Structure 1
Amino acid sequence: MGKKLEFITPELRDFIIDQKIFFVGTAADEGSVNISPKGTDSFRVIDENKIIWLNLTGSGNETAAHLLKNSRMTIMFCAFEGKPLILRLYGNAKIYHRRDSEFQKHIGLFPENTGSRQIIEMDVHLVQTSCGFAVPFMDFKEERNTLNAWSSKQGIEGIEKYWESKNTQSIDGFETEILRN
């Protein structure tokens, strides 16, 4: 059944690498709780207590707004094939924008994507596994290319205009600092 660990083991790292989707949970001290599904080749385990993931342009920017208010973050993976497992990573996160040196340091770890919006770095302080016995089996068919195709069509200028109209505030009115100089 479930275990609590202080770090990501090599076996759990391998499990993470094999996953096609993960879920990110954040919340400010007040307002809405956000849970976002994330896909594509956008997650990296840096070491046993540090992960990064590439946040692509989307319809909202809740994670960024929440992390500016409260750095707590939870990431969850579920095994939809093979041995059942739910894996949660708990920690505190920082958000890096294109203007930040840390963004530039890590962006080369990911495939090029016009919609690359932020890199999130999380210091993991708790790793928890649970059984996943009730998670259904689902077969992976293929990655969706819709977001990448849309981002490429917009180009950098179009993406920045989109950020200005859709990504500067959370649904609760919190600033995201996406366009701060």
Structure 2
Amino acid sequence: MAKFYAQLDAKLCEFISQQQLFFTATAPIDGRINLSPKGIDSFRCLDFDRVAYLDLTGSGNETAAHLHQNGRMTMMFCSFTDKPLILRLYGKGEVVSPGSSQWDLLIDRFTDLPGKRQLILLQLESVQTSCGYGVPIYELQTERSTLLDWATTKGTEGVSAYQHQKNLTSIDGLPTYLE
């Protein structure tokens, strides 16, 4: 049975820290819903009301476009161990750009990863847990290094050029405001 909470607590933050995979969902007012899997060591509970992840350069930048338009965001964590649990975080998302005062305050909490693009900050409005009984048990074999290797090979200037070629608008044509 689903339970709702006003914020995270220490137990839920500990659950989050144990997960190697999470999902983000955003949607524009009109257009495609974006659902993205995320991994690598990129997520942090900032406090019981705010979470953030270090967003790495990818083939698109849908999350940023949607958050600039309306701010709606859901994140989901799912246990793949023998102890089932699904955790959803609902709230108002914000894009934090490199060089901004918020970036400077938050970035030291994250691992310095090649290809970093922006921080995605979520101010929590509600938190939901549910059973997860239908989720299979999986075991992590290893993290993929492909994205980090790609960014390392491209270098800072190459990643920036890629971002300006591929990440300035969403697939629905919305601006991402990537600088």
Does TM, normalized by the shorter one, top 0.5?
yes
Distance 1:111 1:6 in 2: 29
Helix, strand or coil at the partner of 1:168: coil
Helix, strand or coil at the partner of 1:44: strand
Helix, strand or coil at the partner of 2:46: strand
**TM-score, length-scaled by structure 2:** 0.97
Instruction: Tell me the C-alpha RMSD between the 2 structures.
Output: 0.9
Question: Is the CA contact (8 Å cut-off) linking 1:113 and 1:152 kept in structure 2?
Answer: no
User: Shift of residue 107 of structure 1?
Assistant: 1.5
Question: 1:106-145 residue pairs with structure 2 within 5 A?
Answer: 106-145=106-145
| 2:39 aligned residue | 39
Letter in 2 for 1:29: I
| 1:69 aligned residue | 69
User: Shift of residue 99 of structure 1?
Assistant: 3.0
Letter in 2 for 1:156: T
Give per-residue Cα distances to partners, 1:71-130, cap 9 Å, x unaligned: 010000110113111100000011011131211221111111220001011110100011
Letter in 2 for 1:124: L
Distance 1:139 1:51 in 2: 25
Distance 1:97 1:113 in 2: 15
| 1:58 aligned residue | 58
Question: 1:23-34 residue pairs with structure 2 within 5 A?
Answer: 23-34=23-34
Question: 1:75-86 residue pairs with structure 2 within 5 A?
Answer: 75-86=75-86
Letter in 2 for 1:5: Y
User: Shift of residue 23 of structure 1?
Assistant: 0.3
Distance 1:41 1:161 in 2: 24
Helix, strand or coil at the partner of 1:47: coil
**TM-score, length-scaled by structure 1:** 0.96
Letter in 1 for 2:127: V
Give per-residue Cα distances to partners, 1:111-164, cap 9 Å, x unaligned: 112200010111101000111000011001111111111101111100111001
| 1:48 aligned residue | 48
Total equivalences in the alignment: 179
Structure 2 stretches of 5 or more lacking a match? none
Distance 1:102 1:37 in 2: 25
| 2:11 aligned residue | 11
Structure 1 stretches of 5 or more lacking a match? none
